[in-house]
Structure formats: C-alpha cells, structure tokens
A and B are shown apart, each in its own frame.
Chain A
C-alpha cells in the first residue's frame, strides 16, 4: 500500500501485541452503524497516472507566464530567481513544522529572524511578525490589532475605498461579530483629506493602501501626525506593495503604526492565488497586541547566539480565548521564500527590479495615452499599475486581446466600482518586455479601430 510500509507479518505481530486479532477491532468505539461507510471515490491511481492526469488538466489552462500578461490587482507576475525554489525545496525546511523545539529548529528560526529584519528594513518599522495568510488577512488583522490597542472600546474604523476590494471584504468578514462602524469606503472619489476628517476619538484606525488599488502613489507625509492628533491616538495602517518600497519612502518612516500587505511580489509564484504571504510590521510599543509568530534572539546554556519563538503568551496555545488572534499555522515556507528572494536580490537588485517595474509601466502608460479612444486615468507618479479608460467595456476589450492575440489583459474595475465603467487596471512588471508592451498597445489600437 502506497506510503504505508507495514507487511502482513508485521501487522499481525503488532495486533498481537495490542491484543486484538483484526485491525477493524481498533475501531469498535465507533458506533457500528457509522463504521466503514461506502466512500464514493474513484479507484486509486499510480504516481505516473496522477502526474499525467494533472499534466493533461494543465493543458486546459492558459499559463499566464507563457503569454503577455498585464493583469495584477493584488497578484503579480514577477521573475523568481532559481535559487528561491532550490532552497524552499529542501526537505529540511519544507518537511519541518513550527519550530517548537528550538534546539533542532535553528534553521527555520534564524531564517524567520532574518525575514523579520528584512521586512522591518523594507517598511521602516520596528517589529515584524511571521506571518499572516495573505495581504487581505494581514489587513484585517491590522484592524483587529487597532481594536485591541483600545481594548475594544473604540468601535469605528475608517477604511479608504481604494484599499483592495478583497481586503475590504475580508475586513468585513473578520469583524462581522464585533459591532463595528466602518466608514469611508462608500464613495470611490473621496480624498485623503476627507478620510482624515472622518477620524475622531472613537476611531481605532485609518486603513489606507499605497500605491492604492488604482495604482496611485500618494504622499503620506504628515498624514500619520494628523490621524494621531485628530483621533487622540488613532492608529494609521497602510497596506503596501513591498516591491514599491525598494524605491519609495516607506510608511514606517512617515509615522505609520502598522505596515502590512501582500508579500507575493517577493519571490512567490502566482499559483492561481495561493499560497501567498501576509507580511505585517508595527511599532515595538504595540508588540503585545500584534498577532502571529515572533522570533527573538537569545543564547543557549553555553552562551552561543541562538533564536527562539518569543512572546508566545500572546498566542492561542497559551492564552486561548484571550489570545491576540487565533492564528497558528501560518505561511512559514513563503516567509523563507521571501527571505531568500530579498537576500538574493539584495540592496541593488531589489531597487533595479523596482525601477524596471516603474519605467516599463510608465512607458506602457505613455504609449496607451497616445491611442485614440483610450485615456490613462492615474496621475503620475504610479508604481507598476495604472487605470486605463477604454472605449468599450473591459470585458469586450479583454476578449479581443485574448481571442485575437493571446494576451491576458488587465482587471475590469467596474466589478468593484460601478461608476468606473470601461476602466481597466493595467499592471506592468519586469516580465513584460518592450516587445510585449508594444504588442499590447497595438492590440488595443486594433480593437478601437474595429469598433
């Protein structure tokens, strides 16, 4: 039997030791009428057969890495250096579990410590956890942290409409039993100043995204001070694209209290949406309200530097109902992937990748702006994503791109913002060559001409 090593003889010996004759006797504590149901499942197949089956299924998909793709909206096609998969494929890493026994888990623990350091450096923050499930749940946990900072006495949350629609939806899911008042997101045209004006002394936090969901990069200078002052301590949480922080001033340097987001751009493949990585960083003063795993430096009995899970009294396995969060299993291996990615690219490489994204996106936007019938709807500067107003519904434009050119077009914003008819969110990364961008622009022009 596959993955079960017992021989018939061994099974007999073991059953005899236990004092039963048949293996079924080990299940007599299950009410008989429920025992051994007829499972409606297909017959087992061999390794080669399941491989062939899945390879066959893959043929029914269009691999976004194999065609020009301009789709982002929270998940991005990036180059992942070969070294990332080489490291995360090591059985010593991927077949271990949570490092509860630090003496034999220093590999995982030190890698997490390095990850925490890298995320702090990127975001300009003081302490980072490891980790949340994705950018959406990290953002929801930022709201929960802010509520906990005020001991659940403040029930209002100001949420920018330009935070990723799925992140906002997940915030609503997470907090549906908490009796919150969530304001700010109803009107997509609301300004940053308007949002700040909604902050009052009952407000636990203001949540922004930068660059926002529409690609717009905003200056957050002074925002944190205004939020803290208006709300007498209201927290500012900012969701960010971590790759953009290789170029732009991180929210941590501008006084934000929580910086979080989707870590997928840091060396994780698209994988049809997961597993990704929710990264999360805050100020040391809030470390006891922060959720998730945290690794600290210490020494062993011989005085050697070593690493260990610390401040675990915040966590569910110690504090149970009073824990900061219920999170247990997290995104451990994705943390490692991001750590390897950031190490491999390093100070120069990460900035170069960010610049490639910036220049290619601005090149694409400039070319699209020249087209008849199209208009770029995001003011400069942006990072690697911007809005294009199309001459027809985005679904029609994308159908043309796909059917006639095998190009995966951008995201249809009217799904989330009904007022944004015909608006496409276009993402351009280092993966898009100039030739791909030109082909995309020509295909858009052709669509307009055929209209």
Chain B
C-alpha cells in the first residue's frame, strides 16, 4: 500500500490550519448564490505535514544526486537563492504598488535586464515571459510584428531544424504561423542546401538551437545566419542550451536577433517539479520597440548614481504576455546567482559544463554508439541501443539507471537519433560523480549482454515499478472520486 490520497486521510469534522477570528459584524450571505457542499478533505496539520513529507520521499531530485537530464540543465540550485527570494521586503510586495514604494525591486529587475543584455549581446531584454516556451512565443510574435510593421505582409513561415525542441514548432503554430522543418546533415548541422531551398520572401525567420539538441555547436553558424538575413528573415535563438556559452560567446554578436534565456536552466533557479521557470527574451536593436511591456527603465530625469526606476512599454509592443512583471521571485534568485558568479564565474560555468560533458562522452563512447561523435558542448547524445544486445532499448537502460540511484538522461529525444539518450551532466557535478555515472553506464551495458531481463524489468528498487501507461490513458482517472 502506497501513500493514501489526502482525501483518504480525511475524517469528518477534523480541522487543520486555524483561521483568525471574525472581528467585524457579520453581513447577510446571499442565499441564492451559496454553494452546496464543499467536498474538500478534513485533515489536521500534522496529517498534512506527514503526508507531503512522505510524498517528497518518493521523489528523486538534484539535492539527492546526479540528474543528467539532457536539455534541462539540472545544475545545483544554491540555497542562498531560497533565502534572498524570501526577504520580506522583496517577497511581500504587491505588483501594483506605486513605483515609488518598490524602487529596490525595480532595481533588481533592471539589473537582471542589464546583465542578460551583457551576457547575450543584446540591445533589449524583457523578463516578463514565465518559461522557455513562453519566451519562444514572445520571440516569434516579435518577429512577426517586425515584418508587419515594415509593411512586409507576405511572411508566414518559420523554419525549424528537425533537431529542435518540440516547443519551437508549437510556439510557431500558436502564433498563427507555418512551420517548415529543415533536415540535419551527417555531421549534425543544419543542412545548408536544404536551408537554401527554403529561404525566400515568405520566411519570418529561423529558430535555431545552438548548441543544438545533439549538444553540438553549429559548424556553419555564420552561413546559416547570413542565409536567413539574406532573404529578409530574422534568426531566433533557443537559449535552452546557453549553459554551454555564457561568458564564452554572445549570441547577439554572431547575429541572432532574438533569444530566450531559461533562468531555471542557466541561472540556477530551481525547477520546482515542473516549474515555475523564467524565460527572459533578449533582442537586437531593430526589435527593441516590439518587446512585451512594460520594461523597467531608468527615469530619464535621474542618473545611474542616483537612480529612479519606472515602467515603460515599448512603442510598438506586441502587448503583455502575462499579467504583471514576470516571475519576480525567480528573478531575485537568478540575480543572486549572477552576482555571485560575475563575468569570470559565468565563463567558468560554461567551461566546466563542457568539460564534464566531453569527459563523460569519452568515457562511454567505446560502448555506447555516439552517432555524431565530435567535440560536444554541454551535452551529448548516445544511442541506447547496443550492437551486441539487440533487444535492449533506451527505455530499459534508463529504467535500470534508476536502480543504481541516479536519474536517467532524457530519452527518445532528439528524434533524429535512434533510441536517444541525451546526457547533460552540468558543471556542478564533480569528477567523482561523473566517473560513477560512467561506471554505472558501462556496467549496465554489460548486463544488457548477459542478463537483458534485468533491464527489461527494471527498475527493481524504486517506490513503484514500471507503470501501465496505456491503462492511464484509456481508463482516464484524473481526479479523486467521492463516491
């Protein structure tokens, strides 16, 4: 028997947290609008604490161990971030307070904008988007509006390489534009000939992940950007893989027109079991006027030395992409981290993320096929399909890793690699952790040859074992039933 549902712990009449007493006269409640039963659980505070604490213990997390989930940059989340984000004078602010009463908060937002401009080589940054995909949609809408504003109304297509994250094409179609996929060449780059064939006056832009989802730096980056600019299009950078580049290369310098940053990947804000993230977007000079608003700017009447900050919405803004000013508490965390790193520290982050990935790649490449085996950046993609263990799949290897107490890599992505295992160790893992993971991978390869059933049935030592996912989808049970 696993942990009961909170509803199953309910006892009629039991109360948890105690609200304050009523200190004003009661007013009549409108009988015709009142609801019937409110069927929420009735549990005590200690029930709540134990229930959720027991649930927490069923989770794997970075704080428990190695978490090489490719494309997600599961680096250590510094504890100081959690302390600064909870400083009462930052956490207790209402988003609509008069700007004169939130100058400290606006300073933090302003600085995050400025830091990201410096790191990315951009002319403007918005911190409003809530997550990476949200930043993508923001960027696509900015590109769309830029063309329309110039009277160029024929453009309706975004080019997306076949190695891209699924959010790229989804963000494009959500913005009302068409997607055309560009194949990869045998070295894992964008196929230049195929790209040339698709360039034209219908192209809004290209969405390019660099390093790409194979973990490799685009070898023809300048040609790709020139081709797109040459046909009047713009180049969007998916900054999900920015951990490989911070301090080493500024995308804006190379010609990227727009890029989102994932503060929850590169800048150490926690992933929270699925969020919240933060997806700031940087743009080049010609796109600054289209950013979602408002931005925090220095009041022209004040000076850097004696600053006063105000909100301002860019003149041709695409409009707000969410309510208020972004995930402020995540910005405080990212700011804390960026202050502690400085420019030199950021360079070290990228260097050691790339060092760990290449070291691990070299340790396992004789056993696990690596289809594009060249210098990688922050991650690499191996095949979870071993020549001498034909019926073992990436899924089996991933599940067997759980038995060894580590988190599996991303699997079955990118789609262009058969049985993909996408491995991103991040810079916060020591040589010992990386060595240990390599040893486990090699041992599992040995098991795959000698005892494949051990892998097919894995995991053996987790809180639950393999799940019936077909049943979950067919007999859709998505809520507790009171009957």
- Asked whether A36 and B347 contact (CB < 8 A) given A83-B49, A113-B5, A332-B276, the answer is yes
Residues of A within 8 A of B262 (CB): 329
The stretch among B70-78, B281-289, B440-448 that forms the contact with chain A is B70-78
B144 at the interface (CB under 8 A from A): yes
- Among A46-54, A198-206, A230-238, the stretch in contact with B: A46-54
What is the chain A residue whose CB lies nearest that of B59? A107
Contacts of A117 on B, CB cut-off 8 Å? Answer: 5, 7, 479-480
Q: Given A41-B342, A111-B52, A347-B41, decide whether A127 and B274 contact each other with a Cβ distance below 8 A.
A: no
Residue of B nearest to A166 (CB): B323
| B137 interface residue per 8 A CB criterion | yes
The residue on B at minimum CB distance from A10 is: B431
Asked if A59 and B468 make an inter-chain contact with CB atoms under 8 angstroms apart, the answer reads: no
Asked whether B249 is an interface residue with its Cβ less than 8 Å from the other chain, the reply is: yes
The 3 closest A-B pairs by CB, nearest first: A177-B176, A58-B89, A332-B274
Taking CB atoms, residues of chain B closer than 8 Å to A380 are 30
Q: Judge if A250 is at the interface, Cβ distance under 8 Å.
A: yes
Q: Count chain A CB atoms within 10 A of each CB in B61, B219, B459 and give the residue with the most.
A: B61
Residues of A within 8 A of B154 (CB): none
Chain B residues near A326: list those with CB within 8 A.
133-134, 136-137, 167, 170-171, 174
Besides A18-B358, A106-B2, A270-B94, 13 new A-B residue pairs in contact (Cβ under 8 A), listed by A number: A39-B343, A56-B104, A59-B89, A66-B88, A83-B45, A176-B176, A250-B35, A272-B325, A273-B95, A331-B275, A333-B274, A339-B6, A346-B10
In the complex, chain A residues whose CB is within 8 Å of the CB of B45? 81, 83, 344
Decide if A4 touches B428 in the complex (CB within 8 Å). Answer: yes
A451 at the interface (CB under 8 A from B): no
B237 at interface by CB-CB < 8 Å: no
Q: Which residues of the other chain, B, contact A189 by a CB distance below 8 angstroms?
A: none
Residue of A nearest to B463 (CB): A106
Q: Is residue B196 contacting chain A, with contact meaning CB distance below 8 A?
A: no
Taking a contact as CB atoms closer than 8 A, the residue among A90, A176, A301, A430 that contacts B466 in the complex is: A301
**Interface set, chain B 72-95, CB cutoff 8 A to A:** 72, 74-78, 80, 82-84, 86-95
Please tell me if the beta carbons of A408 and B97 are within 8 angstroms of each other in the complex: yes
Q: Is A256 an interface residue (CB 8 A)?
A: no
Known contacts A97-B274, A275-B330; is-contact A116 B473 (Cβ 8 Å): no
The interface residues of chain B, by DSSP majority, are classed as: loop
Q: Given A75-B324, A103-B402, A113-B478, are A14 and B355 also a contact pair (CB < 8 Å)?
A: yes
Q: Which of B228-236, B264-272, B297-305, B382-390 contacts A (4 or more CB under 8 A)?
A: B264-272
- Assembly CA distance A273 to B398 (angstroms): 39
Inter-chain contact B248/A44, CB cutoff 8 Å = no
Which of A141-182 touch B at CB < 8 Å? 144, 164, 166-167, 169-170, 172-179
A449 within 8 Å of B (CB atoms): no
Chain B: minimal CB distance from A135 (Å): 6
Q: Is the beta-carbon distance between B273 and A96 smaller than 8 angstroms? A: yes
Is A37 a contact of B121 with CB atoms below 8 Å? yes
Expressed in whole angstroms, the minimum distance between the Cβ of A23 and any Cβ of chain B is 5
Measured CB to CB, the closest approach of chain A to B228, in angstroms, equals 17
Which B residues between 292 and 317 are near A, CB-CB below 8 angstroms?
A: 292
Q: Determine the distance from Cα of A325 to Cα of B36 in the docked complex, in whole angstroms.
A: 34
Task: Please give, as numbers and ranges, the residues of chain B lying within 8 Å of A54 by CB-CB distance.
Answer: 84, 87, 90, 108, 332, 335-336
Chain B: which residue is nearest A110 at the CB level?
Answer: B55
The reply to whether B322 and A137 form a contact with Cβ atoms under 8 Å apart is yes
- For window 3-19 of A, CB contacts with B under 8 Å fall at 3-6, 10-11, 13-15, 17-19
Judge whether B169 and A343 touch: CB under 8 Å.
no
Give min CB distance, A281 to chain B, whole Å: 10
Query: Shortest beta-carbon distance, B54 to chain A, in Å?
Result: 8
* Chain A 415-436 residues near chain B, CB threshold 8 A: 430, 433-434
In the bound complex, how far is the Cα of B452 from the Cα of A59, in angstroms? 62
Contact between A275 and B273, CB atoms less than 8 A apart: no
Contacting pair B104 A63 (CB below 8 A): no
Interface mask (B392-426 → A, CB under 8 Å = 1, otherwise 0): 00000011001000011010010000000000000
Q: Does A193 contact B (CB under 8 A)?
A: no
Q: Which of B139-175 contact A (CB under 8 A)?
A: 141, 144-145, 165-167, 169-175
Which of B93, B176, B408, B428 counts the most A-chain CB atoms under 10 A from its CB? B93
Q: Can you list 5 A-B contacts with CB-CB less than 8 angstroms, sorted by A residue number?
A: A39-B247, A57-B108, A97-B274, A134-B324, A347-B42
> Is B193 in contact with chain A by the CB < 8 A criterion?
no
What is the CA–CA distance of A166 and B292 in the complex, to the nearest angstrom? 13
Task: Please judge, given known A-B contacts A50-B336, A87-B53, A272-B93, whether A344 and B320 are in contact too, CB under 8 Å.
Answer: no
From the candidates A127, A311, A402, name the one contacting B98 in the complex (CB within 8 A).
A402
**In the complex, chain B residues whose CB is within 8 Å of the CB of A393:** none
- Chain B residues contacting A61 (CB-CB under 8 Å) are 89-90, 93, 101-105
Q: A317-B413, A402-B98 are in contact. Are A294 and B355 (CB under 8 A)?
A: no
Distance between B409 CB and nearest chain A CB, rounded to angstroms: 10
Q: Is the CB of B276 within 8 A of A333?
A: yes
> From residue A316, how far is it (CB to closest CB) to chain B in Å?
4
B96 touches which of A53, A73, A121, A294 (Cβ 8 Å): A73
Residues of A within 8 A of B118 (CB): 39-41
| A contact residues around B15 at 8 Å (CB) | 346, 348-349
Q: Establish whether residues A101 and B323, one from each chain, have CB atoms under 8 Å apart when the complex forms.
A: no
* Nearest-neighbor residue (CB-CB) of A33 within chain B: B253
**Shortest Cβ distance from residue A106 to the other chain B in the assembled complex, whole angstroms:** 4
With both beta carbons as reference points, the residue of chain B lying nearest to A56 in the complex is identified as B104
B22: contacting residue among A1, A164, A318, A356, CB under 8 A: A356
Q: Does A23 lie within 8 Å of B6, measured CB to CB?
A: no
| Interface flags, A78-110, vs B, CB<8A=1, else 0 | 010101011101111111111111111111101
Given known A-B contacts A247-B34, A298-B467, A342-B40, A133 and B134 have beta carbons under 8 A apart: yes
| Nearest CB in chain B: distance from A271 CB, A | 4
Q: Is the CB of B322 within 8 A of A134?
A: yes
CA distance A247 to B36 in the complex (A): 9
Chain A residues contacting B275 (CB-CB under 8 Å) are 131, 275, 329-334
Best-surrounded residue of B25, B58, B320, B476 (most CB of chain A within 10 A) = B58
Interface residues of A in 375-431 (CB under 8 A from B): 380-381, 398, 402, 408, 411, 430
Bound-complex Cα distance A338 to B333 (A): 21
Judged by a CB distance under 8 angstroms, whether A260 is at the interface is no
Contacting residues, chain A, for B119 (C-beta < 8 A) = 39, 41
Contacts of A60 in B (CB 8 A): 103-104, 107
Is A328 positioned at the interface, with any CB of B under 8 Å from its CB? yes
Centre residue among A97, A164, A170, A430 by max chain B CB count within 10 A: A97
Q: Report how far A217 CA is from B29 CA in the complex, Å.
A: 12
Do A169 and B40 have beta carbons less than 8 Å apart?
Answer: no
* Bound CA–CA A398/B96 (angstroms): 12
A65, A87, A310, A322: the one within 8 Å of B469 (CB):
A310
Which residue of B is nearest A133, CB measured? B130
Residues of B within 8 A of A348 (CB): 15, 42
Q: Does B379 contact A (CB under 8 A)?
A: no
Contact A127 B273 (CB under 8 A): no
A333–B136 Cα gap in the complex (Å)? Answer: 22
Among B5, B83, B89, B118, the one with the most A-chain Cβ atoms within 10 Å of its Cβ is B89
In-complex Cβ contact of B84 among A50, A93, A356 (8 A): A50
With A176-B141, A311-B476 already in contact, the answer to whether A4 and B463 are too (CB < 8 A) is no
A450 contacts chain B at the CB level, 8 A cutoff? no
Which chain B positions have C-beta within 8 A of A69?
Answer: 94
Q: Kindly list chain B residues whose C-beta atoms are within 8 Å of the C-beta of A99.
A: 273-274
The CA-CA distance from A30 to B37 in the complex, in Å, is 64
Closest to A408 in B: B97
